[in-house]
Amino acid sequence: DTGVSQDPRHKITKRGQNVTFRCDPISEHNRLYWYRQTLGQGPEFLTYFQNEAQLEKSRLLSDRFSAERPKGSFSTLEIQRTEQGDSAMYLCASSLVGDGYTFGSGTRLTVV
C-alpha cells in the first residue's frame, strides 16, 4: 500500500491526558499537512511541513499542540492535556508541489 498511513485509527482518552498520532506520507511527497475535521465541517488547517521544516502553523492552535517531522519522513502530532473540544478526526495529507492532497484515513480522537 503506497498511500498515506495514519496510526492509530481510533483513540479514546481521558481529559487531561497526552496523545500522539503518527502519519506516514507517500514516500515521494515532500509536503505533509495536518488537518482537523469535526462533523458537518470541512477540514481545518493545523500545520504544514515541507521536508523536515514546519513552515506554517495555524493561529487557532494552542500551545498544547505540537507537530514534528524528523528527517522529512513520517510526522507526529501531539496534543497535551487534552480537552473535550479536541475530539475530532485528525487528518494527515501529503502532496507534491502544485498537486492536490492525498489524505490518510484519519485518527478519530474522543476525549471523555
Partner 1 sequence: RKEVEQDPGPFNVPEGATVAFNCTYSNSASQSFFWYRQDCRKEPKLLMSVYSSGNEDGRFTAQLNRASQYISLLIRDSKLSDSATYLCVVNRFNTNAGKSTFGDGTTLTVKP
Would you tell me which residues interact with partner 1 (CB under 8 A)? 31, 33, 35, 40-45, 48, 50, 55-56, 58, 91, 95, 97-106
Residues pairing with 100 in the sheet: none
Q: Which is nearer to partner 1, 38 or 73 (CB)?
A: 38
Residue type, 101: Y
Cis bond before residue 43 (omega within 30° of 0) = no
Quote the CA–CA distance of 51 and 112 in Å, as a whole number: 35
Q: Which is nearer to partner 1, 18 or 38 (CB)?
A: 38
Minimal distance, residue 105 CB to partner 1, in Å: 5
Minimal distance, residue 28 CB to partner 1, in Å: 16
Q: Which is nearer to partner 1, 16 or 96 (CB)?
A: 96
Q: Which of 108, 104, 103, 66 is nearest to 87 (CA)?
A: 108
